[in-house]
Chains A and B, each alone.
Chain A
């Protein structure tokens, strides 16, 4: 890989390195559930699975203080504008995890007149977690994938170029 020119010097890239490591270890999700996947998301916060081990347990009710939107469930056409508004209210840098088949692609309801066919038609999605619903372990795996992505911004960029 050749080094890109004109992007940050030693100082800025070092700051960016530390900030990325900090960001990757403290995602604060919005308290926001749409359907049955949200129940699995809540189970992830409980004692059996304990999302707090990774430091991601700080579910903030206000989008202003959140970094991560876990779209947990079916997005209906009626909910879509509110989802976009919530996303826009979050401060940068922010990430989106599509949790479950419905958020990924519309899932079993993809033929419905009222279901958005994948949340990536509304907001940019960073990690897709398939499953109907995905178990809490699957959600953790998705969050750890997001952690790897945030720590190595080049990975995301290369993948983006490939597409």
Chain B
């Protein structure tokens, strides 16, 4: 059991020893391991995204009493491999009136913050690429830069629908950033740190979802809106504005936006697990397996919500963020602070 637990860590150690045995200087070894970490994170993201698209179509099928994809491979498991290959082989259209540079840049830029988020996620015991002392702040800050790429893509396509969609996306993502950050404050106050490993360690005895249920629900709603997923998929509202910011994107460029969306789904679920569900901690199974199980449970919750609720109206969307979620999360911060002070005064 212990060897399964530390399979990735010992692999890392073996790689370092192997590189040292070649007589490499320390800085070179460090550089090589960074490259290996980056490739590992990218592989994790891509493998998950491919599987998640399949899972989403399957879940959607079962929610609507259908079967979902089941022809390509056993149970349709290779459906998304076929889709990805097909998208690779499609024509890459750049509209004549588009701003070519920005149009190209946006599709690449959307993917960078989506993968950068995984740097601070603890995948298991001591399995974190960079355990920053401002890990949570880094996550929020980097995550919010994805807005720029969406606006860039919508603006540069020079299409009225994409511009409308990207403006909706920016309004929505910036509005929901605030309740999202405030809902995390309660957890930070309990853990007393922004460092991910310390937040996980603080939940050794009791998960924060028990102590902070309001914060978890606020986070869940705000995160769904941040992801532009149903019932908050207004930026892509097919019935109104075709495909939102992605109207003019075809082939692999469109697939990159699609990939980034699902990569964000994984990272947001991973953050929810780390902050509210005790991270990688759990009995019997190896820590990284616990992490994956919990993340997939969270992802299933997101999918369940998406395929159950109808789309919300634009004014209701803004009203929900500013008039409901923000006050609730502020009250939660106040109550948490008061309770902490009270318990300290009582000497618990």
Among all A-B residue pairs, the 5 with the closest Cβ atoms: A22-B85, A91-B91, A64-B250, A25-B82, A62-B243
**Given A18, A26, A61, A67, which contacts B243 in the complex, CB threshold below 8 Å?**
A61
Sample (17) of A-B pairs whose CB atoms are under 8 Å apart: A19-B85, A19-B88, A22-B85, A22-B89, A25-B72, A26-B79, A47-B66, A50-B67, A53-B71, A54-B69, A55-B72, A55-B82, A60-B243, A64-B247, A64-B254, A67-B86, A93-B91
How many residue pairs link A and B with beta carbons under 8 A? The number is 92
Residue-wise interface mask of B (82-99) relative to A, using a CB-CB cutoff of 8 A (1 in contact, 0 not):
111110111111000000
Q: Which residues of B contact A (CB under 8 A)?
A: 57, 60-61, 64-72, 76, 79, 81-86, 88-93, 238, 242-243, 246-251, 254
Q: Which residues of A contact B (CB under 8 A)?
A: 18-19, 21-23, 25-26, 31, 46-47, 50, 52-55, 57-58, 60-62, 64-65, 67, 91-93
The answer to whether B242 touches A62 (Cβ under 8 A) is: yes
The majority secondary structure among interface residues of chain B is loop
The answer to whether A22 touches B86 (Cβ under 8 A) is: yes
Residues in chain B near residue A53, CB distance under 8 A:
67-71, 76
The answer to whether A23 touches B242 (Cβ under 8 A) is: no
Given A26-B79, A92-B91, A61 and B86 contact (CB-CB distance below 8 Å): no
Residues in chain B near residue A55, CB distance under 8 A:
69, 71-72, 76, 79, 82-83
Residues in chain B near residue A57, CB distance under 8 A:
57, 69
Q: How far is the CA of A57 from the CA of B61 in the complex (A)?
A: 10
The answer to whether A47 touches B69 (Cβ under 8 A) is: no
The answer to whether A52 touches B68 (Cβ under 8 A) is: yes
The answer to whether A31 touches B91 (Cβ under 8 A) is: no
- Smallest CB separation, A58 vs chain B (Å): 8
Q: How far is the CA of A26 from the CA of B176 in the complex (A)?
A: 35
The answer to whether A91 touches B83 (Cβ under 8 A) is: no
Q: How far is the CA of A65 from the CA of B86 in the complex (A)?
A: 11
Residues in chain A near residue B83, CB distance under 8 A:
22, 26, 55, 58
Q: How far is the CA of A22 from the CA of B60 in the complex (A)?
A: 22
Residues in chain B near residue A93, CB distance under 8 A:
89-91
The answer to whether A50 touches B66 (Cβ under 8 A) is: yes
The answer to whether B238 touches A61 (Cβ under 8 A) is: yes
Q: How far is the CA of A93 from the CA of B251 in the complex (A)?
A: 11
Given A47-B64, A47-B66, A91-B251, A31 and B238 contact (CB-CB distance below 8 Å): yes
Residues in chain B near residue A46, CB distance under 8 A:
66
The answer to whether B242 touches A18 (Cβ under 8 A) is: no
Beyond A22-B82, A65-B250, A93-B90, 18 extra complex contacts between A and B, CB < 8 Å:
A22-B85, A25-B72, A26-B79, A46-B66, A47-B64, A50-B67, A52-B60, A52-B66, A53-B71, A54-B71, A55-B72, A55-B82, A57-B57, A58-B83, A61-B238, A65-B243, A91-B90, A93-B89
Residues in chain A near residue B84, CB distance under 8 A:
22
Q: How far is the CA of A99 from the CA of B67 in the complex (A)?
A: 24
- Smallest CB separation, B161 vs chain A (Å): 8
Q: How far is the CA of A35 from the CA of B71 in the complex (A)?
A: 30
- Counting chain B CB atoms within 10 Å of each CB, the highest count among A25, A47, A54, A67 belongs to A25
